[in-house]
Structure 1
Amino acid sequence: MGVYRFVLTRQWVCLTLITLALIPAMIKLGFWQYHRHEHRVAQNELIARNLYGKPVPVGELTSPGHIVPRNDYWRAVSATGTYDSAHEVVVRMRTSNDDKVGFQVVTPLVLDDGRAVLVNRGWVAGGEDSRAYPPVPAAPAGEVTVTGRLKADETSGDSGIKDRKGLPERQVMLINSAQQTAYVGKPVLGGYLELTAPVPAGGSPEPVAEPDHDSIGPHMAYAVQWWLFAAAVPVGWLILVRREKRDRDEESAKAASEPATAAA
């Protein structure tokens, strides 16, 4: 006990308290990263399951005012109707699959029952004037059957995109069925459809890429790192204690030898 009396000094008490605080903090951070890893794995499984399921009629999963639940994100859906190009809008500040900034084209598809569903037909580049309506290939005429991924309405809270006002005509910041209902003049199904087929002629608009569901990210590695740090902290503390003891023993031995040398 006396050998480690120096551990009770103010300096070592502070160091010990910091060490004791770091260990649970690092363990907690490790579990936080582990839970993020679990969330990512579950997300990937949900995306894969919904992407490759058999398409169902969009009206079976949503209705006007409906909030698309998480379990239905990216569900494969189909819809038959006629595009309402007169009420088409473009979504500002969207990136292409190769990270170019432009617009996404959202065209209402009017169903046989008179309701409409918003269809994100894909990405187009902007023209020279960012406030002008960009060059957009016309939607197919006549009755069409489309398939796509069901997405929830975008909000500023979920997307982090500020819903700016005073935008040029027919330009919006968010894809939101509630906002578009008054403009379209028809009941609009909640959420929207991200077009996957038929593929636009000439590749424009550029279809939105399917969400990544293969990578699991670095969260598991980060979790292991935090737990290794937690294990290393007490080891480091013990090494410092032993080093301090060794240095003090050497100083004591040197101090004891100096009087003996002087007496000789």
Structure 2
Amino acid sequence: MGVYRFLLTPRWLALHVVVLLVIPAFVFLGRWQFGRYEERSTASDRTSSNLAAAPVPLAELTGVGRAVPDGEKYRAVTARGTFDATHEWLVRRRVQNQQVGFYVVTPLKTGDGAVLVNRGWVPAGTDADGTPTVPAAPIGEVTVTGRLRPAETEESTGIADRAGLPPQQILLINDATLGAGLPYRLYGGFVELSRQEPAAASAPEPVPEPDAGNGGGLNLAYGVQWWMFIGIAIGGWLLLIRREARDLRAAEESKRESAQSVAH
């Protein structure tokens, strides 16, 4: 053991414990980041694929009273019908162009029910609780094309729903909640309008296509970083041991030289 007896001193035993705790912690954090990378990469790839897919009829992906499968989020769909402007809602606290405003949600009545259509965004007026200027929904039969979205919930959006809002103003686009007061049944989810035929003379500003993201590239970098910390921790630990041993050897050598000098 010789000079390395210092490894069994209380100070060094505490350091050993710290290193032995830090290594599995860094392993866990690295694996967690790699897991997030895989999840986000999968979600990013699915979003890009869905956005690029050709439009299909709405009834192929959802139906009256049916929830939208998460894997079909942002798929382009088409629906034909007439807008019911008497049951139109304004969705509060929606930001576009770095400005707070409202989404305009209008049911589109089809042959077997209706689907909620987010016709676009309008800026808020001077009074946050007032009604902004909203272009009227077109009259007559139209064909809409848009991105299919699952119903919004507090969990999926982070927006806390509440009562007591001005008439026809809401916080979440949720077909189950909004459909309770309608004279017809709603398709699951809603459609984020991207195109309409015939085109409206005046319409809310379209909601931009979502950003598919970077596929979790930051999570991958963080995962690699945590695992690099493992090497740094072990390397630093060994370096401290070697330095301590070297210093002790030097001290012992100095003592021997001093003893020999005194003896002579």
Q: TM-score, normalised by structure 1?
A: 0.93
Unaligned runs of 5+ in 1: none
Change (3 A) 1:251 1:203: farther
Distance 2:244 2:49 in 1: 59
Whether 1:92 and 2:81 are equivalent positions in the alignment is no
**Alignment-derived partner of residue 126 in structure 2:** 128
Report if aligned partners of 1:62, 1:190 keep a CA contact under 8 Å in 2.
Answer: yes
**Distance in 2 of aligned mates of 1:210 and 1:19:** 48
Cα deviation, residue 112, structure 1: 2.4
The question of 1:80 aligning with 2:93 is answered no
RMSD: 1.8
CA distance in 2, matches of 1:45, 1:232: 34
1:112 correspondence with 2:149: no
Give the aligned partner of residue 147 of structure 2.
149
Per-residue CA distance 1:83-116 (angstroms, 9 max, x = gap): 11111101111110x3211111111111123x11
1:165 corresponds to:
163
Counterparts of residues 204-219 of structure 1 (less than 5 Å): 204-213=203-212, 215-216=214-215, 217-219=217-219
Match of 2:5 in 1: 5
Preserved contact between residue 102 and residue 123 of structure 2 (Cα < 8 Å): yes
Counterpart of 1:66 in structure 2 is 66
**Contact 1:108 1:118 survives alignment (8 Å):** yes
Q: Which residue of 2 aligns with 1:17?
A: 17
Q: How far, CA to CA, are the matches of 1:201 and 1:250 in structure 2?
A: 88
The aligned counterpart of 2:189 is 191
Question: Per the alignment, in what secondary structure is the counterpart of residue 187 of structure 2?
Answer: coil
The AA in structure 1 aligned to 2:214 is S
Aligned to 1:56: 56
Distance in 2 between residues matched to 1:209 and 1:13, nearest whole Å? 59
Deviation of the 1:262 alpha carbon: 4.1
Amino acid at match of 2:254: K
Residue 103 in structure 1 maps to residue 102 in structure 2: yes
Structure 1 range deviating more: 63-72 or 154-163: 63-72
Moved more, 74-83 or 197-206: 197-206
**Partners of 2:25 and 2:202 in 1: CA distance:** 51
Bigger shift: residues 247-256 or 64-73 = 247-256
8 Å contact kept, 1:87–1:183: no
Is 224-233 or 208-217 further displaced after alignment?
Answer: 208-217
Identity of aligned residues (%): 47
What is the CA-CA distance between 1:162 and the residue it aligns to? Answer: 0.2
Distance 2:85 2:200 in 1: 17
Shift of 1:157: 1.6
1:174 paired to 2:166: no
The 2-side partners of 1:240 and 1:202 are apart by 75
TM-fit CA distance, 1:2: 2.3
What is the CA–CA distance in structure 2 between the aligned matches of 1:202 and 1:238, rounded to whole Å? 74
TM-score (norm 2): 0.93
8 Å contact from structure 1 (residues 133, 170) kept in 2: no
**SS of equivalent to 1:198:** strand
Counterpart CA distance in 2 for 1:235 and 1:248 is 20
Out of 190-199 and 102-111, give the one that drifted further. 190-199
Deviations 1:149-178 (A, max 9, x none): 111101112211100111111110100001
Q: Deviations over 1:164-210 (max 9, x none)?
A: 11111111010000111123321011100011113976885221122
- Which ranges of structure 2 fall in alignment gaps of 5 or more residues? none
The residue aligned with 2:227 is 227
User: How far 1:256 sits from its partner (Å)?
Assistant: 3.2
Q: Which residue of 2 aligns with 1:245?
A: 245
Cα–Cα, structure 1 residues 38 and 203, in superposed 2: closer, same or farther, change >3 Å? farther
Q: Secondary structure, in 3 states, of the residue corresponding to 1:190?
A: strand
How many angstroms does 1:138 deviate by? 1.1
